[in-house]
């Protein structure tokens, strides 16, 4: 399925914004008429269809782009879809997802990119 097909399918189904991996899988499995895809395919369907940039997890402080999902070899059930923003190192940040300035990007909730945080 090409990018256009994922986007069309996602907009027809109307899943919630910023779902976790577990929520994406449950959402996709609720429709018995669909072919059962792999978890990775379901996650890519959602990320691409809703124009997210990848996944992030505040608990473990990681994020990955859609073109290299789960480099940790263990996508967690609580990873969330987010958008990509450029890295802006903040030495006063003491959150679990603290950045030490050694990256080019972060994956964050869409509302953070649009001025929420």
Tokens of 114: 């649009």
Average pLDDT, the chain: 75
Q: Is residue 8 over pLDDT 50?
A: no
Q: Is residue 3 over pLDDT 50?
A: no
Q: Which of 55, 39, 47, 64 is nearest to 9 (CA)?
A: 47
pLDDT tens-place string over residues 69-98: 888 777 888 999 999 888 766 667 666 455
Residue 97 has what pLDDT? 52
Residue 89 has what pLDDT? 63
- Going from the C-alpha of 27 to that of each of 20, 31, 59, the distances in angstroms are 10, 8, 23
Higher confidence at residue 47 or residue 112?
47
Residue 1 has what pLDDT? 42
| Containing structural domain, residue 39 | 3-113
CA distance 1 to 47: 14
Phi, psi for 71 (deg, rounded to 5): -65, -15
Higher confidence at residue 6 or residue 68?
68
Residue 55 has what pLDDT? 93
Mean pLDDT, residues 29-37 taken together? 71
Count of structural domains, the chain: 1
Reported pTM:
0.70
């Amino acid at each position: 399925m090409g990018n256009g097909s994922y986007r069309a399918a996602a907009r027809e189904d109307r899943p919630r914004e910023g779902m976790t991996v577990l929520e994406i899988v449950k959402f996709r499995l609720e429709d018995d008429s669909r072919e059962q895809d792999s978890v990775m395919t379901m996650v890519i369907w959602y990320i691409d269809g809703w124009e997210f940039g990848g996944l992030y997890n505040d608990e473990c402080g990681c994020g990955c782009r859609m073109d290299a999902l789960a480099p940790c070899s263990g996508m967690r059930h609580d990873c969330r879809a987010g958008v990509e923003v450029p890295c802006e190192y903040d030495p006063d940040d003491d959150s679990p997802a603290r950045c030490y300035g050694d990256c080019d990007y972060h994956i964050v909730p869409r509302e953070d990119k649009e001025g929420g945080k």
